Structure formats: structure tokens, C-alpha cells
Amino acid sequence: MNDNKNNRSQTRAARQLIESWQRSGVTHIKRVVPVMPEKTVVEESQQVNPSGAKPRTVSKELQSSANQGVLFRENDPSPINTVIETEEPRKEMSVTRTTKSKLKKADRQAELNIIADQVAQCQKCPELASTRTQTVFGVGNPAAKIMFIGEAPGADEDRQGEPFVGRAGKLLDKIIEACQLKRSDIYIANILRCRPPGNRNPSDTEAANCRGFLDAQIEIVDPDYIVCWGSVAAKNLLRSELPIGKMRGRFYEYGRARVVCTYHPSYLLRNPSAKKNVWDDMIDLFQDMGIDLKAQS
């Protein structure tokens, strides 16, 4: 009974540790490789301890976590077992949230500020770091029910340090107003936090380098709904290769958030006829929230 209770406590501690790393913007850690005897879990009756002290067993659940590079223990500073470090990073640090955050709005903003400071110092992408005027982190309500995710900063965003402030941003503001909301009601971010030269699409490496920051923002804001504006946002968030036209018209899941994919405002500037499609997507989104936009328009 006590062993089961300890295992649950250890698992809970691991989850809390990973979430705290994520909120701090940590995306990679050195992988920890346990040095094990031939049998990873040894029965107490088979262990030999020269000191005469009763040996401590390692649960299979805890052993599994150690093999994944996460070592943890509550109220026990001694190591689980001898370890060596490798330089191989963990490919995925993010753990998408499945329960609603209880953080207060001010606390969420404070944590976002910590991540924003780390973003401002980021040099992971040498070309972007050398050509940017400044990083563009994110703006809006840190406890928003709806989070918008775009592609990357453009020239106007790079100059002002805020996402969606150019021509596409002005169109986005009109869409927000048509939904009976204000820009400050929503949290807005991008796949990248630096402007790609010439406004080219982000490379896979750049998107991967910036993914931890995006996931930290999602984790902290903890929105009920996410809107991916354009194929770059949709493909990177949902790991999909489908064109945006085929991703429209349905809901996806990311953690506990329901995700809608639609055309980017810059696409609408070039193709005004697609505005109706975006409005239909907004109607579907708000209908899922229990709000009839058609009645309010």
C-alpha cells in the first residue's frame, strides 16, 4: 500500500517538474542514461548490501521515467542510481495540458514575461538572430479563452515588436471586431518569434527551435480554443501535411484545447473571396462556444 502511494507521489512530482520546466521555457535537457545492473528491478530478498542496511527498491514506473531522462524523488536527495550524461537532447519536452490551469492572471503574465526575456536573448537560429530588429513574443490576455497562432513576424511586426500589426493585422482586427471581441480579449502568438529574411516561410529547423517557446505560451495561457491562421501554423502545431483548405471545417485537439484551422489574413488580402470561408470558420468556432455570431452580425 505504501509503495503504491509513493509511486503515485513520484509520478505527480515528475509531472509537476516537467510543467515547471515548460513554463520556464526549457525545451531540451541532457538525456540521462541510467547505468543499470543486468536486472533493472531486483527483489529485496535478492539484494546484497555490505552495510547491512535494508536496500531500497526502484519501482518499474520510476525506472521507466529514469530511462526517459527524467529523474525525480520527493524528500530523498540520494540518487536513484549511478548515471552518465550524453549530449543527445530530448526531442520532445512539452507535455500538452489536459486539465485546466488554476494560475491567476497576474501569475500567468509574470511567467510569460520570464519566457519573453529568454526569447529576447535566443540565438538558436543564427540567420534570424543576426537580421532581426527585435523578437516578437506575443500579446493579449494571458488567461484568454481563445489563442491565435500565426506564421512569423513580418517587417511591421519586426519593427514594432508585436504580432499582426501590418495590413494583415488590421484585417485580423476587423475579424475580431466582427466576432464581438477586442484584440485584448485574445492571446496572439506566432510559430516563430523572429522575422525570416524576405518574409520567407519558416524552415523546419527554425520552427523546431522556436517550438518550446510556443508550447510554453500555450501551457501558461491554457486557452480553451486555438485558431491556426494559415498552413504554416496548422502544420507546425498539429504535425500535419494537409493543405489548409482540407484542414478547415473541423475541430482538432491539442492538449485540452479545441483547434480550428483557417486561412491567414495575408491570404485574404490576395484572395478576398476567401473571407467568407474564414467567417464560416469563426461561426463554427463560436457556435461550439455556445455563441451565435449570425444572430449578432
Per-domain boundaries in the chain:
105-289
Q: Is the pLDDT of residue 271 over 90?
A: yes
At 164, the amino acid letter reads: F
Run of H or E residues at 227: strand 225-229
The per-residue pLDDT for 99 is 83
User: pLDDT digits over 25-77, tens only?
Assistant: 554 443 333 333 333 333 333 444 433 444 333 333 333 333 333 333 333 33
Q: State the DSSP code for 73.
A: -
| The CA-based dihedral angle spanning residues 89, 86, 23, 159, taken in that order and rounded to the nearest 10 degrees | -50
How many contiguous H segments (helices) and E segments (strands) does the chain have? 12, 8
Supply 246's cell numbers. Answer: 482540407
Residues 92-100: what's their mean pLDDT?
Answer: 63
Q: How far is CA 207 from the centre of its chain?
A: 12
- The model carries a pTM of 0.69
CA distance 125 to 18: 25
From the list 221, 169, 223, 162, the residue with the least C-alpha distance to 193 is: 162
The per-residue pLDDT for 150 is 97
What is 105-289's CATH number? 3.40.470.10
